[in-house]
Amino acid sequence: MVQELKKIWAFGIPYLKPYRFRFVLGIALSIFFGVSNGLFVLSINTLFNRLTPAPAQTPPVAQIESIPATGTVSFEKRIKATLKEKTAPIGKAFQAASDEWLPRMGQKITWKQMLGGFSLLPLVMGLRAMASYFSTYCLTWVSARVIRDMQVAALRKAQELSMAFFQKMSVADLYARITADTSAIYAAMTNGFIDTIREPFAVLSILISMLIIDWKLTLISVCMLPLVAVPVVSSGRRLKALTKKFTSLTVTQSGGLLEALAAVRIVKAYAMEALQLRSFREQANLGVEMSVKTAQTRNLLNPLIEILAMLGIGFLLIFVFSTSAKPGNLVAFLSALLLAPLSIKRIANLHLTLQMTTVSTQRLEELFSEKPTVVEPANPRPLHSFREGILLENVTFSYGHTDVLHDINLEIPKGKKVGLAGESGSGKSTLINLLMRFYDPTKGRLLFDGHDLRDYATKDLLHQMALVSQDVVLFNLPVGINIGFGKENPTQQEIEQAAKHAYAHDFIMQMPAGYDSPCGERGQLLSGGQKARVAIARAFVRNAPILVLDEPTAALDSRAEKEIQTAIDSLEEGRTVICIAHRLNPSEYG
């Protein structure tokens, strides 16, 4: 458990620093809560031992004689005498306070003793409850913000990675790492922060209080504890393996579900509902089986610990009856043995939780350890404007197998329109990906105004370009915001002016809320021609000197294509244009 705890804490500590005050306060309160368990046991012992009348005569503590260090006196007696001698002042003060504030059987009760006897246990339990509440509040407050920061950092890391990363990791897997895995760590941190600090101190304070009362009874009571370790360790290993399988299954199932819902039109067109439902049910059945196994493994520990606790109590009762121990000691020990299993169960469950959480921690560590294949320059060259042109020198590129582009040379002067045509798979879109530096060439180089693209910051480079693609991506946000994505903090006037240039203003104003009307998920509330106009308006807002057209009219009918082409012609004026098309009009490009 220690190793798993170290990994989770090492992963989470950098996110804890901004909230260290509440974190430390929560830990301090958790420690007090743990110690309060021992105070409660000692309070029980003190109260119930005062139910018997005081001895007729008790020799003063000061009269106790020291035992010689040598001779025939047993080691045990020597230790007892030494401890009694060292703790005599404390014992005397405690006895005096007890006589003043606690009642005793056979003696006249005063108002102080009445108040003390009535309020001692409620006071200890009240302080214990308040410490528990505020420690839980502080640590939950911290954990919630730590996980929020962790999720933001995970998304930021994913955004920093190159396009090659998204080819090897599915969206469902990435989504699970950012949401489900961080949520698992949140649960472990929320309970782990509390139980890691609170429960060991609770067990330790109970053990110390039991040792103070009677060390022999303590040894008998704890003889069952080592037996708990074996099932706890084996259960933890089993849960870790189950969690790995369940996480993999969940990612697969989520990915299939997202694909089915995103492609519902095709699913219905080919009547594939039954097939997808059968596949989903099969995966869900596996999930049910693993969930049941997980629940069995986790829930088996609690009754096991309770049985062992009752066995300890049984041994304790036999010992008390055979040795005539004080009744107050018996009551105190019974209270301790009722409190201790609660803490032991939490520690055992914490071990299981940590074993499961290490899987999520490893998955997030893998994400954060990823390095972008497109590396940003340490000292990027300033790029304020596009002045000369673009040059490809002996460019070769491969996605990992055969070359998609091989030894390409191409010059695109500023202000020129260049058309790229070719059959599917010939590398047209790949060339655009290289130009926008989604990838770096395997060999050769791309020059932008005479300098390698790798000398510029990608953000500065992309500010010089606007992309209009046949695969129009719109978000489930107002149409005005979708247009405004082309520029950072555009004004409403700029958005409307861009829409007018793209011939989109009229249909937007006919929508229920105008520019505040939602586009729907993936823009499904708009037609193909309307989505294309919104994409062109987005490019107008950007007002970049280089326009990249990736078959923007390929999916439109002839009428819509002519309307969109008019808007594109307006957008192309005064810009360098790179156009990919399945057919080209030679008179338009040079």
Tell me the CA distances in angstroms from 432 to 65, 409, 421, 468, 539, one per residue in order: 95, 14, 13, 12, 16
Rg (CA), the chain: 37
Q: What is the pLDDT of residue 582?
A: 61
Q: 67 and 78 in contact (C-beta within 8 Å)?
A: yes
Distance of CA 521 to the CA centre of its chain: 27
**CA-CA distance, 224 to 496, in Å (whole number)?**
77
CA–CA dist 201, 336 (Å, integer): 14
What pLDDT does residue 102 have? Answer: 80
Other Cβ atoms within 10 Å of 321 Cβ, number: 10
DSSP string, 521-537: GGGTTS-HHHHHHHHHH
Q: Which helix (H) or strand (E) holds 85?
A: helix 75-86
- The pLDDT value recorded for residue 479 is 92
What is the chain's pLDDT, residue by residue, as a tens digit (590 residues)? 566 667 777 787 788 888 889 888 988 888 888 888 888 888 877 777 777 776 655 454 444 444 455 544 555 566 656 656 665 676 677 677 777 778 887 788 888 888 888 888 888 888 888 988 898 888 888 888 888 898 899 989 988 888 888 888 888 888 888 888 888 887 777 666 667 777 788 888 888 887 877 777 777 666 666 666 666 667 767 777 777 777 777 777 777 777 777 666 667 776 777 877 887 788 778 878 877 877 777 677 667 766 766 776 677 667 666 666 676 677 777 777 777 777 777 777 776 777 778 888 888 888 888 888 888 888 999 988 888 899 999 999 988 778 888 898 989 998 888 888 877 777 888 888 899 888 899 999 999 998 999 999 988 898 898 888 878 888 888 999 999 987 888 899 999 998 888 888 989 999 999 999 988 887 888 888 888 888 888 888 888 898 888 877 766 667 767 777 788 888 888 888 888 876 555 544 44
- pLDDT tens-digit readout, 168-185: 888 888 888 888 888 888
pLDDT at residue 37, rounded to an integer? 80
Alpha carbons within 13 A on the beta-carbon side of 463: 12
**Residue 65: predicted pLDDT:** 46
Residue type, 94: F
How far is Cα 446 from Cα 458, in angstroms, rounded to an integer? 13
Q: What is the pTM of this model?
A: 0.70
Question: How far is it, in rounded angstroms, from Cα 304 to Cα 340?
Answer: 14
Query: How many CA atoms does the CB half-sphere of 424 hold within 13 Å?
Result: 1
In the three-class reduction of DSSP (H, G, I as helix; E, B as strand; rest coil), residue 100 is classed as helix
Q: How many CB atoms lie within 10 A of CB 98?
A: 18
C-alpha dihedral (578, 579, 585, 590), degrees to nearest 10: 10
Contacts of 383 (CB under 8 A, 6+ apart): 448, 449, 456, 457, 460, 461, 463, 464
CA 175 vs. chain centroid, Å, equals 11
d(CA 368, CA 153): 9
Report the candidate in 521, 503, 525, 502 with the shortest Cα–Cα distance to residue 513: 525
Q: What share of the chain is helix, strand, coil (3-state, %, to 5)?
A: 65, 10, 25
Domains annotated for the chain, with CATH where assigned, are: 2-54+104-208+242-286+353-369 (1.20.1560.10), 389-588 (3.40.50.300)
* Cα 216 from Cα 524, distance rounded (Å): 76
* Beta bridge partner(s), residue 146: none
Q: Is 299 exposed, middle or buried (0-12, 13-18, 19+ CB in 10 A)?
A: exposed
Place of tokens 């247009």: 483
Three-state DSSP string of 128-167: HHHHHHHHHHHHHHHHHHHHHHHHHHHHHHHHHCCHHHHH
DSSP element (H, E) containing 328: helix 327-369
**Sheet strands side by side (includes 443-448):** 403-413, 389-398, 443-448, 451-452
| Cα 31–chain centre separation | 26
Q: What is the per-residue pLDDT for 116? A: 82
């594939």: which residue's tokens? 272
- SS3 at position 75: helix
DSSP 577: E
Element at 273 (helix H, strand E): helix 273-323
Dist CA 266 CA 491 (whole Å) = 39
Return the closest-CA partner of residue 578 out of 409, 368, 419.
419
